[in-house]
Amino acid sequence: MDKNVWTILIASAFILALILLFTLSAKEKSKQKRKRNKHGSSGKKPDDWVSPDEFVKWKYRLKPYCYEKEADNFLAFLKSYKGGFVRRNRGKIIARSFLGREKGDLKGIFYHVIVPNPNIPEVKKEEFRKYFMSVGVYGLEERPDYASCTELSALDEEDLKRKAVGNRGEHIVQVILARLDPRNYYVINGAVLRHDRTTKEYDHIVVCREGIFMIETKAFALTDGKTGRATLRIDEGDHWIVIKNGREREVKSPTEQIKMQKKLLERIIHSCPAPIHPVLALSNTEISIEQNLELHYKVVRADALTEVIAGENDRLSASDLKLIRQDIGKAQLN
């Protein structure tokens, strides 16, 4: 074939390749432009997704004896939030629901804040109950006697204050556990677990490579939700005494409670028989501990929790952790 013909063929092929390349580039730019126009110039998806952190903020913003307007604002937030679990398909939200721990929090809010609150009318309380049930909150099927619940005696008020302090104590521990890397530490707050016919509530459960940690929280010597100097003395016979401002007060030992909780959790986690490490966390980080009795669980201040967890080394594998989480998930009611 003539040399000039070869030159023409090669030049033609080169020109065709350039045209093809230019066409593909133009199509890709057009596609990206349409995508930007659809989702906005920032490139973010214009859906109504809300971070679970906002749920936590609202949860602790709602206080006992709050006014009806505050309760209304909280309910409006929940209806727009729709839950911290989000499922997407090609970037678009196709399903949303409340996380297990969020359902547990909502149940606690209903019984500890909404039901006994004299500032919230019964109609509004029923609206809360029905909405909570609609999003999967367990244990609200029976309508409470709102009238009797709001006729609080002095003892009821003291009990409500203690519950509020207890909730504050659990929040302190939640904040500390939230510092753990969620990629390596699976933390469940306020889990309600059921096995056979036994149901128990757990303040916190941590599943990680270091082991399984069952954490019970006590708010000894917290005043109005604030930490303060005090001493917890654990004497022979399992007597627990809190000393504050020179006064001694005996409190109920949590030993039997922790024992029964551990026993149930051991039965629940059957796919991977790993040891369970029970821990009592004192949310008052200024309290000192005088332990004169050996217990089957550790008693520590909340600010020492991460150190306690790091101190164990059960070396659970990724498959072990998956099985443990599955067992807990199957038993969880909230």
Strand partners for 193: 200, 332
- Shared domain for 104 and 59, answered yes or no, is yes
> Is 13 contained in some domain?
no
d(CA 170, CA 190): 9
| Coil/strand/helix, residue 33 | helix
> Is 31 contained in some domain?
no
- Shared domain for 108 and 207, answered yes or no, is no
- Element at 211 (helix H, strand E): strand 211-218
Between the alpha carbon of residue 316 and those of residues 207, 212, 319, the distances in Å are 9, 9, 8
- Please state the rounded mean pLDDT for residues 282-308: 92
Between the alpha carbon of residue 265 and those of residues 202, 224, 274, the distances in Å are 10, 32, 11
> Is 19 contained in some domain?
no
- Shared domain for 305 and 224, answered yes or no, is yes
In this structure, the number of other CB atoms found within 10 A of the CB of residue 77 comes to 16
- Shared domain for 176 and 320, answered yes or no, is yes
HSE toward the beta carbon, residue 22, CA cutoff 13 A? 6
Q: What is the mean pLDDT of the chain?
A: 83
Strand partners for 189: 204
Give CA angle at 39 (38, 40), nearest 5°: 100
Least confident range from 2-16, 116-130, 150-164, 248-262: namely: 150-164
- 121-142 tens-digit pLDDT: 999 999 999 999 999 998 888 8
Containing structural domain, residue 138: 49-151
SS3 content of the chain, % helix, strand, coil (to 5): 45, 25, 30
- Please state the rounded mean pLDDT for residues 81-89: 81
Looking at 90, 123, 151, the residue that finishes a domain is: 151
> Structural domain tally of the chain?
2
- Shared domain for 277 and 182, answered yes or no, is yes
Q: Which residue has the higher pLDDT, 214 or 223?
A: 214
Q: Which residue has the higher pLDDT, 156 or 322?
A: 322
- Shared domain for 194 and 292, answered yes or no, is yes
- For 211: left if phi > 0, alpha if psi spans -120 to 50, otherwise beta; the answer is left
- Shared domain for 86 and 209, answered yes or no, is no
Q: Which two tokens stand for residue 203?
A: 């303040």
| Dihedral sign from CA coordinates of 161, 54, 201, 145 | positive
- Shared domain for 137 and 198, answered yes or no, is no
- Shared domain for 114 and 223, answered yes or no, is no
> Is 42 contained in some domain?
no
> Is 35 contained in some domain?
no
- Shared domain for 90 and 195, answered yes or no, is no
- Shared domain for 122 and 179, answered yes or no, is no
Q: What is the largest CA-CA distance in the chain?
A: 111
